[in-house]
């Protein structure tokens, strides 16, 4: 299960909407081992593509070093699908490289009234969907 | 001579769980070979027939080695190498 504050979910959705029709991507960092997403970090999609995303390598180094300094890890890794459903694609599964992360997918496809937000664990090539529990919290 | 190599979570299975290991070599290629001698299996996660794997980022101090000399990049004592798997998908 992913438990996440409403303001973080709204920030993720706003980012996905802003970058549509390109895929948006980023992380929510939290204290190592806590499983608590706390700090929203939208990232640039270096591919700037409607069907692919990749964190810019230098931005990723900066963000990962920052997390290291703060004893954090990427609790959520999110990206958007702009014309397909919020389910991990074969490439999403193949490149999932943070075994402890919750992989959050947002679909901004136009048939939807509201973007769809779902969360998954992806470990050793296996995908399992999990409940997203949205909670209120300090803004 | 000693170069620190920081290892991402997903590759710690090759280093007995260690987040950083030490190695030696004049170039990144030689350093990776040196690490392989003590951590078998690590090299093939970093390198394939075409050179450095496309979705693995390797940094020498503050620079992505793709913008230096790739596997031929020279390394020296006191350098720090960081490995991060690319975060990507579609």
**Chain A residues near residue B86 by CB distance under 8 angstroms:** 54-55, 57, 60, 95, 97
Residues A114-122: what's their mean pLDDT?
Answer: 95
Contacts with B64 (C-beta within 8 Å, 6 or more apart), sequence order: A57, A58, A61, B57, B58
Confidence at residue A102, expressed as pLDDT on a 0 to 100 scale: 98
Instruction: Tell whether B75 is covered by a domain.
Output: yes
Strands A53-54 and B88-89 come out as: antiparallel
- What confidence tier does B1 reach under pLDDT thresholds 50, 70, 90? confident
Q: CATH number of the domain at B42, please.
A: 3.10.20.30
Residues B47-65: what's their mean pLDDT?
Answer: 95
Query: Which B residues, 48 through 77, put their C-beta within 8 Å of a C-beta on chain A?
Result: 55, 57, 59, 62, 64, 66
- B25-43 tens-digit pLDDT: 999 999 999 999 999 999 9
Instruction: Tell whether B55 is covered by a domain.
Output: yes
In terms of Cα–Cα distance, which of B43, B84, B6, B32 is closest to A74? B84
pTM for the model stands at 0.94
Residues A113-138: what's their mean pLDDT?
Answer: 93
Instruction: Tell whether B67 is covered by a domain.
Output: yes
User: Looking at the domain covering A2-135, what would its CATH class be?
Assistant: alpha beta
Instruction: Tell whether B90 is covered by a domain.
Output: no
Does B87 contact A77 at a Cβ distance shorter than 8 Å? yes
> In Å, what is the CA distance from A89 to each residue of A12, A54, A81, B18, B88?
19, 14, 9, 31, 11
Nearest beta carbon to residue B84 from set A54, A60, A100:
A60
- A40-52 tens-digit pLDDT: 999 999 999 999 9
The residue range of the domain holding B15 is 3-85
Instruction: Tell whether B8 is covered by a domain.
Output: yes
* A24: number of Cβ within 10 Å: 25
- Percent of chain B topping pLDDT 90: 98
Tell whether B80 lies on the interface with A, counting CB pairs under 8 A: no
Confidence at residue A138, expressed as pLDDT on a 0 to 100 scale: 63
Nearest beta carbon to residue B88 from set A54, A64, A88:
A54
- A51-67 tens-digit pLDDT: 999 999 999 999 999 99
**Chain A residues near residue B57 by CB distance under 8 angstroms:** 57, 60-61
Into how many domains does chain B fold? Answer: 1
């Amino acid at each position: 299960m992913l438990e996440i504050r409403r303001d973080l979910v709204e920030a993720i959705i706003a980012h996905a909407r802003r970058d549509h029709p390109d895929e948006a991507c980023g992380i929510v960092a939290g204290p190592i081992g806590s499983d608590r997403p706390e700090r929203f970090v939208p990232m640039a999609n270096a591919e700037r593509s409607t069907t692919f995303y990749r964190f810019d390598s230098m931005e990723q180094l900066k963000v990962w070093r920052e997390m290291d300094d703060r004893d954090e890890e990427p609790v959520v890794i999110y990206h958007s699908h702009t014309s397909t459903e919020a389910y991990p694609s074969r490439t999403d599964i193949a490149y999932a490289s943070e075994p402890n992360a919750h992989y959050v997918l947002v679909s901004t496809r136009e048939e939807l009234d509201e973007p769809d937000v779902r969360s998954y664990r992806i470990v050793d090539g296996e995908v399992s969907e999990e409940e997203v529990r949205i909670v209120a919290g300090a803004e | 001579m000693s170069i620190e190599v920081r290892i991402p979570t997903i590759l710690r299975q090759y280093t007995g769980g260690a987040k950083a290991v030490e190695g030696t070599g004049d170039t990144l290629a030689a350093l990776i070979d040196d690490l392989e001698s003590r951590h078998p299996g690590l090299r093939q996660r970093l390198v394939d027939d075409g050179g450095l794997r496309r979705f693995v980022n390797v940094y020498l101090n503050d620079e992505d080695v793709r913008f230096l000399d790739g596997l031929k990049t020279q390394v020296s004592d006191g350098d720090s190498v960081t490995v991060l798997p690319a975060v990507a998908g579609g």
